[in-house]
Structure formats: C-alpha cells, structure tokens
Structure 1
Amino acid sequence: MTAVTTEILVDVWQRLLADPRKSWVLFEHGTCVVVTAPEGDLAERATEVLREFGSVHAGSPAGDFGVIDAKDADGWVVTGHHRDVLTYVAPDEPRDRSDIAVGVYGRSKRHRDGTELRVVHVEDRRAPTGTGPA
C-alpha cells in the first residue's frame, strides 16, 4: 500500500475540483470541504463545517455515505450528509474495493478529520480584491 501524502491529496483535489470559482480546504486524512460562501478565513469556515458534519454517529444521517468513482483521478470520492464535505479514498487504501468497503473506509477517514480537525492545505480561489483601475 502506498502512503497518500498531502502532495498527492492536493493534486487529486485540484483535478477533481477544477472549477476556478470553488475554494476548498483539505484536512489531514483526505477530507475536503468546499467553501461555497468564501468570506473571511477559509480554514476557520471549513473547520466549523467539518466539526459539525465530520464525525460519524451510528444510526443518524452522519453515518450515511455515497461512493463516487473519481473520473479525473484514480480512486473514489465518499460523500456524506453535507454536500460540501467530500473524502478521497485512493485505489490501494481499502483491501476490498466494493462500494460498501470503500464507503466505510472513507467515512472513517472523514470521522478522523472531523475529530482531529488538522488543516493541511487551503485552495483560495477568490478573486483578489482592491486590484485594477478605480
């Protein structure tokens, strides 16, 4: 199994979230929070979202997940109960490649990110302010 480094994760999310208008924040274990209303500190906003929607609670919507085959990167994107919280699972991470195994694996990564809350990258795609002619 290959270690999934921060550099690999940043590269994957840059390919998956290619929309130049979408800012996003990456957490240590591969969870990405897309910041849809990018005002203020992006890392703080994403941390607030992940603090609320990252942890898994059995028998609640927080335990639900979906699995998407990543077309622009090898692996999968695991979704949860917040549409802007996504977790990347590399092809060599889970031993079992069934949707259920990939989903449970990705959900566990999201849970770790939602409890540890360690930001490793901020992709700020906001237009610069105060530039250009007046």
Structure 2
Amino acid sequence: MRDDDPVDNETLIAAWRQLLDGSGKSWVLYEHGTCVVLEHPTADPTEQADAILREFGPVQVDTSAGDFRVLELKNGEGWLVTGHHPDVVTYVALDECEDQSHLAVGIHGRTKRDLDGTELHAVHVEDAKATG
C-alpha cells in the first residue's frame, strides 16, 4: 500500500473494535482512520464527534494543532497518532507508510486527521448506549 492509499473501512472498523474492546465507550470513525472516542456521548454521537473533530482535527502548523505523538501498537499492526485532544486518535496501518520512522508515521497520521477534520465524513458509529 502506498502513502496515499486509504485503508478500507472494514479494516479500520475491525482495528478500532479491537483497540476499544471492553472500554464501554462510544466512538465515531472517519474516512481516513481518525476516531473520536466519546466519554459522555449525547443523543447524536456523530454530531458530537463532528463538533470535536471540526475543532481539533484540522492541522495548524506551529500551534498545538500541529503536534502529534506516535504510539506503537503492541500487536505489531500499526500505530496510533494522537494530537492535541485526548479523544481524537488516528490509526495508521503498518503497510500505509514506506518510511516507518515515528516522524514519518506521525506526519502521515496528522495528515489523515487533518483530512478527517476538514471533510467530516463519518463511516461508522459504535454507540455504547445502544448496545449496553
């Protein structure tokens, strides 16, 4: 997979289900792999997640919105890239980046978060209220 190839929705959903298994939290997944975890979901989780991602997704270099941290997944299936909001996290699969340095992965994840924050195209919702 090349840097510009998106990860398919089924792979993203499966990855986030595994990552958040047993958390009891609601979450909304966006087209490019960014997930907004909702500690206290409202009646419309997508609307709530959109508001968070609209504010905390777009990248503004030289501000905290440009910062990121890369967390390597223990199962060796990729990385999580965090930003300046603790509940906005982007998944980067192993095969998404040819250069697997933390800097390259972080920039790739940050770019995906920026796309999700500006496009706001949710592809999946897990509503803990509905299933719990």
With normalisation by structure 1, the TM-score equals: 0.91
Q: Which residue of 1 aligns with 2:33?
A: 30
Gaps of 5+ in 2: none
Amino acid at match of 1:86: V
How do 1:77-96 residues align onto structure 2 when only pairs under 5 Å count?
77-96=80-99
Query: What are the Cα deviations for residues 15-65 of structure 1, in whole angstroms up to 9, with x where unaligned?
Result: 011134111000000000001111210000000000000000010000000
With normalisation by structure 2, the TM-score equals: 0.92
Moved more, 65-74 or 118-127: 65-74
Count residues in correspondence: 129
Query: 1:126 is paired with a residue of what secondary structure?
Result: helix
2:33–2:91 CA contact under 8 A, matched in 1: yes
Gaps of 5+ in 1: 130-134
Q: Which of the pair has more CA radius of gyration?
A: 1
Runs of 4+ in structure 1 deviating by more than 6 angstroms, as ranges, are: none
Question: Which structure is higher in helix share?
Answer: 2
CA distance in 2, matches of 1:28, 1:14: 15
